[in-house]
Structure 1
Amino acid sequence: MSFLGIDLGTSSVKIILINEKGDLLGEESRGYSVDYPKINWAEQNPEDWWKATKDCIKNLMEKGCCKKDTVKAIGFSGQMHGLVALDENDQVLHPAILWCDQRTQEECHEITNYFGQEKLTQYTGNKALTGFTAPKILWLKKHKPKLYEKIAHILLPKDYIRLKLTGEYATDVSDASGMLLLDVKKRNWSKEMLEFLQMKESVLPKLYESYEITGYLTEGIKNILGLKGEIAVVGGAGDQAAGAIGTGTVKEGIASVTLGTSGVVFASHNEYRVDKENRLHAFCHANGKYHSMGVMLSAASCLKWWVEEIHKGVAFEELLTEAENSPIGSKGLIFLPYLMGERTPYADPNAKGVFIGLTMSHSRGDMTRAILEGVAFGLRDSFQILKELKIPVEDIRAIGGGAQSNLWMDILTNVFDQKISTLYTDQGGALGAAILASVGNGTFDTVENACSKLIHVKKTYVPNKEKVYAYIQYYKMYHQLYDVLKASFDQLAHVQKSLYFI
């Protein structure tokens, strides 16, 4: 018996195959591009996702990772918030507008002004953010009305793959929580938001819990992929909720930190809770409960930019070695990691990346370390809010590519002043997706029981008092800089926009 976990990310799809013991039987990954047609826009072609997904599954089967009739269920982890608009024939009407796209600032203001923040929080649990799906829908309605009139179905990215596999229009409540269309507390579509958008509920997919079966692979698709037998497809989850499942973050007191393309601080709790200032997202969790989540838009992607764009040809390991030789605080250099704007705690698409404190004495290693520290400070912003809300955090698990760096984990541990553990698996969202599939199949009776059997801690990092003290001082300075620079960010965005076509 085996289970497929499909992790549809921003830059690639990753698919793993596990058995009921959690053993990794095989994995495949395929990349695809992101288009940036204008400043702060980000789009993808959903057909690229589908082709990459098909290729991965076919390759896994051709490798003989398992017998064709032993795959019993499939789960999803998906990049959140993206808008996939389909016509009545399921044809894609417009490139998918992604989670990191920032074009909808005016639409967010329009939604907030219409409802007022208190009512909007009551109806959806969240504030209107440029990454969310509802503002994207409103943008299409305003800027491409003829296209908007043709929309018959709206899906999230992973749910487009579900449609291809099963023919079903479905999503799960954890991913739907990030659309600004869901009444998160009640776990159903918000009538008030639908009325505002003048949109019928039938345009939206049917809602499921993440571990519930939403459909089965069609015969035609099984023939294409090389699979046999009845194969269930469960709801799956948004990437962060799925990643939390993959770390065992399913009980109160456990939190996870993701150092991926984006950075996430995620805490599980049993009852619905909402930050009245909406600095954290209030979402449904993939285990049937709830979670609070802070998101910074650029985390490991800051380092990726530094390596691939600024230092092409220089080995990643060489840059990290140089950073290890830089002292705490990078000789007084602070980096603001707002390369794609920022979400938590500022919700500001105009925010920009900044090095502040540069002098002639700074080296490349200092600048690399400042990037690592700046991302850690940005994640601490979210962790601080969890503490303010008195959400218990006793155990933190770290995942994502950045969690593989001992240096970055040491920095994060001391910036948080909290023990942080890594895990034996680095599969993250793909593992969470496969675990959800195993629960839907009935191999495990609950998500919590599945995680207790399959997730294990590998290494724990412990804070050092001297390092903690030093980082407290630097974090205080970091936290003040956004307010100091906000007016400059706004002015720069205005000038940039007005001169774009020159």
Structure 2
Amino acid sequence: MLLLGIDIGTSSVKVSVVNADTQQIITSAQFPDEESPIKAVHPGWAEQSPLMWWDQVQQALARCHAKGGYNQQDIAAIGIAYQMHGLVLVDKDQNVLRDSIIWCDSRAVEIGDKAFVAIGQEKCLSHLLNSPGNFTASKLAWVKENEPGIYAKIDKIMLPGDYIAMKLTGEITTSVSALSEGVFFDFKTNGISKDVINYFGFDESLFPVINPVFSSHGALKSDVAEKLGLKAGIPVTYKSGDQPNNALSLNVLNPGEVAATAGTSGVIYGVSDQLAYDQQSRINTFAHVNYSEEEKRLGVLLCINGTGSLYRWAKYNFGAGLSYNQLNEEAKKAPLGSDGLRVLPFGNGAERMLNNKQVGAHFQNIDLNLHTQAHIFRAVQEGIACAFRYGFDIMRSNGMNPTVIRAGKSNLFLSELFTETFVNATGVPVELYNNDGSVGAALGAGIGAGIFKSPSEAFSNTKAIQLIEPDLSVDFEPIYNEWKELLEIRLKAKG
């Protein structure tokens, strides 16, 4: 029996076919080969076309089929993971009304800040577990205020994964986990937040039917099945934001367990059983994939917008013609601390952990007679690791103190140097796994379809491939302290 996982990333779409019996990948493919474009009409804005995502799903799946090694008719369930917080709007005929305002778009910060004050800071934090900030609710309010003609045509609002599920099945659903990541969910009343919809003037009819994460979200339509080379009627049995899904793919489901990823953005995601929140909303709390009213499972999320996006920028501007693997090898030629070169990796929109300030990316202490291409690549990796440490200290102050962090061996964690730097910066060992988001989505589909009796059964064959522990001979603190001082100067300048 086979499972299909679809991961709608910011940079590309990846699909994987997984054998349900062994829980191992049969084959996978992604599209496009280069990073997908992000439209930035104004500084701080970020949009992508949902139609582009749908085309990429079809292209990635076609590549997967072309590789062979499986019978397409044996796929029993489909799971979807997706970039979080994006706003997709459709009319009554399921036509997209505008490009999606995606996760790193900063236009709605002021709208969310005003809502935080108007609704009441303590009420927002205790009921929503977050400030409305720059999340999906505030983005919808921006459309209502600035594009009233489009707003008037909205039949349903969704997140990116809901849109892809709609294209597959013709049905539109959501979940408590999805509503919470949009900051639409009230954890005290266990329903859509009346405070949010009343303050912004949203009609509750805009929200889709609420289903459990692990459940049927519709069945593959005949015409779509024919186009995709699949059999009609395959159920979509799992949908999740990319970070809860990444945690699922690493079997991070219980209180105290922590996952990390360093793709376009960098995330540390820990599981808690407490309805807790950061007083400054620098880290955020959402319903995890296994959340229920009876058994609270919350995902506590630290996000750094500019991790892989900064490394991509460095590659294009300083490493033309080099692969990422070559960049990683080049970075090793520079010494620890990059001979004083420091990088602040905050050039991809407002950073939640910095109180939604747009600090920008900065290279500090460049010595034109000393610093080389290798220094640039190492300083970027060290700067990203320092940003993780800064955010991780916020998580520690909020009671999250893991003894190990699990990560998939992908993106920046493919770099031996970055992984070691991350471990030495945070002081916490990292376990690396071969699973990725598309595999997690496939196994999630197996859970939702009842093929696995429990999440633990779905990951019974999942084993760590490597453990990286802090190197006690490396003193990273002076590097971090200097980096932190530079960041604080920038934060003070922003007021």
TM superposition score category, shorter chain reference:
over 0.9
1:228-277 alpha-carbon deviations (Å, 9 max, x no partner)? 25411123210001111111211233211111110001111234322233
1:75-121 alpha-carbon deviations (Å, 9 max, x no partner)? 11100111111112111111111111111222122212311321221
1:170 aligns with 2:177: no
CA distance in 2, matches of 1:415, 1:112: 33
1:180 aligns with 2:189: no
- Secondary structure at 1:448's aligned position in 2? helix
Q: CA deviation at 1:184?
A: 4.2
Equivalent in the alignment of 1:429: 437
CA distance in 2, matches of 1:28, 1:435: 17
Q: CA deviation at 1:196?
A: 1.4
Conserved? CA contact 2:237–2:446, under 8 Å: no
CA distance in 1, matches of 2:370, 2:68: 56
Equivalent in the alignment of 2:10: 10
Conserved? CA contact 1:352–1:489, under 8 Å: no
**1:29 partner letter:** Q
Equivalent in the alignment of 1:215: 218
Q: CA deviation at 1:441?
A: 1.4
Conserved? CA contact 1:104–1:139, under 8 Å: yes
Equivalent in the alignment of 1:46: 50
Equivalent in the alignment of 1:70: 74
Equivalent in the alignment of 2:202: 199
Query: Which structure 1 residue ranges, 4+ long, deviate > 3 Å from structure 2?
Result: 58-65, 184-187, 314-319, 487-490
* Match for residue 376 of structure 1 among 367, 385, 390: 385
Conserved? CA contact 2:104–2:350, under 8 Å: no
Within-5 A mapping of 1:315-334? 315-334=323-342
Q: Which runs of 5+ in 2 are unaligned?
A: 292-296
**2:457 partner letter:** N
Equivalent in the alignment of 1:160: 163
Equivalent in the alignment of 2:481: 476
1:83 aligns with 2:84: no
**1:386 partner letter:** M
Q: CA deviation at 1:414?
A: 0.7
Deviates more, 1:94-103 or 1:361-370: 361-370
1:146-187 alpha-carbon deviations (Å, 9 max, x no partner)? 221111111111111111111111123333322121224655
Within-5 A mapping of 1:338-377? 338-359=346-367, 360-377=369-386
CA distance in 1, matches of 2:121, 2:486: 26
Within-5 A mapping of 1:106-255? 106-130=110-134, 132-184=135-187, 187-228=190-231, 230-255=233-258
Instruction: Give the TM-score normalised by structure 2.
Output: 0.93
Conserved? CA contact 2:351–2:358, under 8 Å: no
Structure-2 change in CA distance of 1:441 and 1:482 (3 Å)? same
CA distance in 2, matches of 1:422, 1:483: 32
The alignment's C-alpha RMSD in Å is 1.9
1:336 aligns with 2:348: no
Equivalent in the alignment of 1:460: 467
CA distance in 1, matches of 2:59, 2:262: 27
Conserved? CA contact 1:242–1:428, under 8 Å: no
- Secondary structure at 2:390's aligned position in 1? helix
CA distance in 2, matches of 1:389, 1:173: 23
- Secondary structure at 1:249's aligned position in 2? coil
Equivalent in the alignment of 1:494: none
CA distance in 2, matches of 1:134, 1:86: 16
Aligned identity (percent) is: 29
Deviates more, 1:160-169 or 1:357-366: 357-366
Conserved? CA contact 2:281–2:355, under 8 Å: no
Q: Which runs of 5+ in 1 are unaligned?
A: 491-502
1:311-333 alpha-carbon deviations (Å, 9 max, x no partner)? 32344444333321222211122
Instruction: Give the TM-score normalised by structure 1.
Output: 0.92
CA distance in 1, matches of 2:318, 2:425: 26
Equivalent in the alignment of 1:302: 310
**2:343 partner letter:** F
CA distance in 2, matches of 1:315, 1:91: 39
Deviates more, 1:393-402 or 1:221-230: 221-230
Equivalent in the alignment of 1:497: none
Equivalent in the alignment of 1:26: 27
**2:90 partner letter:** L
1:404-444 alpha-carbon deviations (Å, 9 max, x no partner)? 11111111111111111111x1x421111111101111121
CA distance in 2, matches of 1:63, 1:185: 49
**1:411 partner letter:** T
- Secondary structure at 2:458's aligned position in 1? helix
Equivalent in the alignment of 2:396: 387
1:462-496 alpha-carbon deviations (Å, 9 max, x no partner)? 111231xx212222222233331135457xxxxxx
Structure-2 change in CA distance of 1:233 and 1:318 (3 Å)? closer
Q: CA deviation at 1:373?
A: 0.7
CA distance in 2, matches of 1:242, 1:205: 21
Conserved? CA contact 2:350–2:356, under 8 Å: yes
CA distance in 1, matches of 2:66, 2:444: 24
1:338-388 alpha-carbon deviations (Å, 9 max, x no partner)? 011342421334211111222233222222211101101111122212222
Conserved? CA contact 1:15–1:29, under 8 Å: yes
Equivalent in the alignment of 2:406: 397
